[in-house]
Amino acid sequence: MDIASVEGLDGLSIGGLASELKLSKSGVFAHFGSKEELQLATIRAARDVFMARVVSPARAAPPGLGRVWALCEAWLAYGAEPVFPGGCFFFATSAEFDARPGRVRDALAEANKDWVLFGQSTIDEARHLGEISGEIPSAQLWFELYALARAANTDALLHGDKTVFERARTGIRNRLQAVATDPSALA
Amino acid sequence: MDIASVEGLDGLSIGGLASELKLSKSGVFAHFGSKEELQLATIRAARDVFMARVVSPARAAPPGLGRVWALCEAWLAYGAEPVFPGGCFFFATSAEFDARPGRVRDALAEANKDWVLFGQSTIDEARHLGEISGEIPSAQLWFELYALARAANTDALLHGDKTVFERARTGIRNRLQAVATDPSALA
DNA sequence: CCTACCGATCGGTAGG
DNA sequence: CCTACCGATCGGTAGG
């Protein structure tokens, strides 16, 4: 996961992995069966990390606007920490494979879909609890919030400037306050 | 540029390029001198395309909120068309190199910086013309607008769904109307 | 611009 | 899990 976040899932070579693990190349190869299976296994492992670092902390917060906010905060912390040396694993690898059809892209697309649906569901909860007013669709609002978080990830890496995470946080807070029935809840 | 937008600047190989151009590998090599120089030349060429497709059309619009809007529209059209088969050239290659120090990353960071400063300058113009109210810094507002456009680029490619560009357009329009002194100007 | 070549590395296989 | 090997491809060079 660390290698792939920096060098990409194609840059993750079986031989390179073997020498880092002090195993033979064919020994590592036998564990996966093909490079594509290694890539898919890496994606599965990264989903587990993402669940533990981002989704689970947000689920610990009570449903409502606070959980939406907790989810965004957890994502920003995950991007800024950084959990992976190349920033968000899914950002790096999705940009690599988004125009290359195959099982790797399909796995990344499915992971992204699950994430987006979870984000939307936290917004739906907040709406049903009466904490969000206005007619903006949950899909639209989540797209906007997640867009700000992702933008901070690249900008921070490309310019070596972590302050952009604060910029994303500001944008997300402003956006949520604009739709909140009680804006002071996010102050 | 087309190859790099899909396979990345590392996936752009001298031998592959030679066979596509029906030249010898060393013939292509001699034109650039190194793979890194090929990558840098590709970035320079992509900057020219980006200028012609995105920046120049926006400059044709009169300064003010209309130019900010025209710039966002031009970017969305550039991403959706698509000008490159792998979506925005700079999105794909910046995600590839953002965690890999060197001249390639430096060139991409500089291109991004120029782009961000130009975007901010269109917002400054609109503010000085009295078309933007409120105290939001230009850097913050441009970060938010550009974040929405970039998010649409990946989502469209990853899920083969171009409707996300409309989602980005909606988000950008809403954001600009929220700060416009005359919101009807963007209706 | 070319042919011919270099050492290194790639994913993958044979056989144990 | 290993050694030893395969053909293909990589960036780059020698020499013209």
pLDDT score, position A40: 98
B-chain residues within 8 Å CB-CB of A150?
147, 150-151, 154
**What are the pLDDT tens digits along chain B (187 aa)?**
999 999 999 999 999 999 999 999 999 999 999 999 999 999 999 999 999 999 999 999 999 999 999 999 999 999 999 899 999 999 999 999 999 999 999 999 999 999 999 999 999 999 999 999 988 999 999 999 999 999 999 999 999 999 999 999 999 999 999 999 998 888 7
In the predicted model, residues of chain A with pLDDT beneath 70 are none
* pLDDT score recorded for residue A178: 94
Torsion of CA B151, B13, B28, B46, to 10 degrees: 10
pLDDT for residue B154: 96
User: Which chain B positions have a beta carbon within 8 Å of A105's beta carbon?
Assistant: 158
Cβ atoms within 10 A of the Cβ of B159, count?
17
Q: Which nucleotides of C are covered by protein (CB under 7 A)?
A: 1-5, 9-15
Closest nucleotide over all strands to A21 (CA to C1'): D1
Residue A183 pLDDT = 87
pLDDT, residue B49, reads 98
Residue B186: predicted pLDDT = 83
Hey, what are A60's tokens? 């610990």
User: Is A36 buried (19+), middle (13-18) or exposed (0-12) by CB count in 10 A?
Assistant: middle
Taking only the tens place, the pLDDT of each residue in B84-98 is 999 999 999 999 999
State yes or no: cis peptide before B82, omega within 30 of 0.
yes
* pLDDT number for residue A57: 98
| pLDDT given for residue B134 in this prediction | 81
Can you read off the two tokens belonging to residue A76?
A: 């920003």
Position A185 scores a pLDDT of 84
| CA B35 to C1' C3, whole Å | 21
Q: Is the CB of A136 under 7 A from strand C?
A: no
- Considering chain B, what is the average pLDDT of its residues? 97
The pTM assigned to this predicted structure is 0.96
pLDDT, position B85: 97
pLDDT at A13: 97
**Spatial distance between the Cα atoms of B18 and B149, rounded to a whole number of angstroms:** 35
